[in-house]
């Protein structure tokens, strides 16, 4: 079993709070910083054990992670065995081999380059608690750090709690971690802890890691802006004309087929024509499916039938349950710990169908290999018009929610459930590509790659 007293809380369970601050900093004085890290910061870092029980949860949970330049600044020169981490996320904007799809001109200046050395994650029930913990940390560290940027995340209010800004329930599907997750829910895939934690069984870089890096994880942070009124206008303008649906229902269906789940969270594969909030709320059923059809000739049907779920639906692109062989699928799991940022859409924004206030998702994923995790999903699956591989249609399209073709229009096949269910149809004709998404509704504002060490690993960094 895992040493969960030594693993930071966000990696395996998340922060379990409704407000979260991402505080990005630069280290000015490494010696002072390291001495305070050992004496005063490590003792306030929240462990996995602490977050698991309400009795031991702190008022404000605190995690810390470092970029590569941050570690170097602190005198840590060990190679962690991850080249994406070493180069930093900004370098991957210009990566010609693996396209994450970002336009550098939309990046927040704070993220451009490698100026960020570390990030504090502070999570609590109220912004006031976070402000007071931040003040505490700033008084401990004094002028040894400078703030570079901050992003305030918060759960959406009222009935939208748990839903991201487009309105879809988030945080439903996570991989189970062998030796940790208990119980494993129906439909959850169990993977080795080394998929997420360095130095554990299944770590793809097991031989490369310095001992102090054990039980740390790479944290990918992305500020993903969402153009909510524009997205809603697109759905309103393109209701799917299927059966007896009203235009409103046709628009709902289009959104659900882009995501792969209804706004409630119910998977469209199990409930293809209408939302099912009871299914959505049942953890024993809401993940219990693959995309393999239960029909007389599934081998053939699975290659072209998109009636229940488009090949390109967001949750199918990033977790193609059963579409690939298990080995190919299971090495690309990430643990997500994202939270929305920014206010609710205003009446003026709705009326004009135009975003004027920045809002979106403060995306966080954990993985033991940035390439196998975030990078692979983003470049080989999400932004690849040919993925899911092996289907009859060779131009499935990019992920309709977060995929990009340089900001331009995206042809996505299978969004309309009435696309051919007959293999003899000419799949190069328009019916496969009958919904064109005119622009991106998710825009990257930048991010960075970090390493979230174990508590003993933080001690080793302080002593470096
Ligand atoms: Fe996604 N969305 O609201 O449409 N995502 N995502 N994501 N995402 C998921 O199952 C969304 C993003 C994954 O196991 C749900 O928990 C939005 C990135 C993975 O079946 C919804 C953004 C990456 C899963 C959304 C965004 C991923 C997942 C369903 C950006 C990886 C689990 C809720 C603004 C690089 C899939 C759930 C599975 C689920 C949305 C970003 C990956 C509703 C709006 C960048 C692996």
User: Cβ–Cβ contacts within 10 Å for residue 140, how many?
Assistant: 16
Cα 389 to ligand 1 centre (Å): 20
Q: Are 225 and 445 in contact (CB under 8 A)?
A: yes
How many angstroms does the Cα of residue 97 sit away from the middle of ligand 1? 24
Q: Is the Cβ atom of 314 under 6 angstroms away from ligand 1? A: yes
Per the CB < 8 A criterion, the answer to whether 419 and 306 are in contact is yes
Question: What percent of the chain lies above the pLDDT cut of 70?
Answer: 97
Q: Say if CB 23 and CB 147 are below 8 A apart.
A: yes
pLDDT at 434: 64
Is the CB of 2 within 6 Å of ligand 1? no
User: What's the gap in Å between 314 CA and the centre of ligand 1?
Assistant: 7
- Whether the full predicted model's pTM is greater than 0.95, yes or no, is yes
Omega prior to 388 cis, within 30 of 0: yes
Q: Would residue 170 show up in a list of annotated catalytic residues for this protein?
A: yes
Q: Which residue of the set 10, 92, 170, 323 is catalytic?
A: 170
Q: Tell me how far the alpha carbon of residue 162 lies from the centroid of ligand 1, in angstroms.
A: 13
Average pLDDT over residues 97-107: 95
Q: What pLDDT digit, counting tens, does each position of 323-336 carry? A: 999 989 999 999 99
On whether ipTM exceeds 0.85, the answer is: yes
Atom number of ligand 1 nearest to Cα 401: 4
Helices (H), 74-203: 83-87, 89-93, 127-141
CA of 430 to the centre of ligand 1 (A): 28
Per residue in 336-386, pLDDT (tens digit) is 999 999 999 999 999 999 999 999 999 999 999 999 999 999 999 999 999
Q: How far apart are CA 80 and CA 28, in angstroms?
A: 23
Stated as kind and residue range, the H or E segment containing 68 is: helix 68-73
Lowest mean pLDDT among 65-74, 170-179, 308-317, 408-417: 408-417
- Choice from 165, 314, 340, 446 to test ligand 1 binding pocket (greatest atom count within 8 A of CB): 314
CB of 259 closer than 6 A to ligand 1? yes
Mutate to test the pocket of ligand 1, among 167, 315, 340, 377 (most ligand atoms within 8 A of CB): 315
Return the residue whose CA atom lies nearest to atom 21 of ligand 1.
170
User: What is the number of the ligand 1 atom nearest to the C-alpha of 220?
Assistant: 35
In which band, very low, low, confident or very high, does the pLDDT at 299 lie, cut at 50, 70 and 90? confident
CA–centroid distance, residue 407 to ligand 1 (Å): 19
| Residue 405: φ, ψ to 5° | -115, 60
Which protein residue has the closest C-alpha to ligand 1 atom 14?
173
């Amino acid at each position: 079993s895992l040493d969960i007293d030594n693993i930071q809380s966000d990696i395996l369970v998340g922060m379990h709070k409704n407000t979260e601050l991402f505080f990005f900093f630069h280290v000015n004085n490494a010696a002072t910083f390291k001495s305070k890290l050992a004496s005063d910061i490590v003792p306030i870092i929240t462990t996995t054990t602490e977050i698991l029980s309400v009795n031991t949860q702190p008022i404000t949970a605190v995690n810390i992670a470092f970029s590569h330049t941050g570690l170097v600044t602190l005198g840590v020169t060990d190679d962690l065995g991850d080249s994406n981490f070493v180069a930093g996320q900004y370098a991957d904007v210009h990566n010609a081999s693996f396209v994450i799809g970002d336009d550098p001109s939309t990046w927040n200046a704070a993220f451009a380059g490698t100026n960020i050395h570390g990030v504090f994650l502070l999570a609590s029930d109220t912004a006031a608690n976070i402000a007071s913990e931040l003040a505490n940390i700033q008084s401990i560290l004094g002028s040894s750090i400078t703030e570079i940027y901050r992003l305030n995340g918060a759960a959406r209010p009222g009935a939208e709690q748990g839903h991201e800004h487009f309105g879809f329930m988030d945080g439903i599907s996570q991989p189970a971690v062998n030796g940790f997750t208990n119980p494993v829910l129906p439909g959850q895939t169990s993977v080795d802890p080394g998929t997420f934690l360095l130095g554990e069984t299944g770590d793809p870089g097991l031989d490369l890691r310095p001992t102090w890096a054990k039980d740390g994880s790479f944290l990918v942070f992305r500020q993903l802006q969402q153009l909510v009124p524009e997205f809603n206008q697109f759905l309103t303008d393109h209701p799917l004309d299927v059966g007896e649906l009203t235009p409103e229902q046709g628009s709902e269906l289009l959104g659900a087929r882009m995501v792969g789940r209804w706004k409630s969270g119910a998977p469209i594969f199990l409930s293809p024509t209408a939302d099912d909030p009871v299914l959505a709320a049942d953890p024993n059923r809401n993940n219990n499916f693959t995309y393999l059809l239960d029909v007389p000739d599934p081998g053939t049907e699975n290659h072209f039938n998109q009636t229940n779920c488009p090949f390109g639906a967001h949750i199918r692109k990033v977790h193609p349950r059963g579409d690939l062989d298990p080995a190919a699928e299971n090495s690309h799991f990430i643990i997500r710990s994202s939270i929305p940022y920014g206010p609710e859409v205003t009446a003026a924004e709705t009326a004009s169908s135009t975003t004027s206030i920045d809002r979106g998702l403060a995306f966080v994923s954990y993985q033991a290999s940035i390439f196998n995790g975030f990078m692979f999903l983003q470049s080989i699956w999400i932004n690849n018009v040919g993925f899911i591989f092996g289907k009859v249609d060779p131009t499935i399209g990019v992920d309709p929610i977060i995929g990009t073709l340089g900001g331009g229009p995206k042809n996505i096949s299978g969004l309309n459930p009435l696309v051919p269910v007959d293999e003899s149809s000419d799949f190069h004709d328009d019916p496969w590509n009958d919904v064109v998404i005119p622009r991106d509704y998710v825009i990257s504002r930048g991010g960075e790659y970090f390493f979230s060490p174990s508590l003993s690993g933080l001690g080793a960094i302080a002593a470096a």
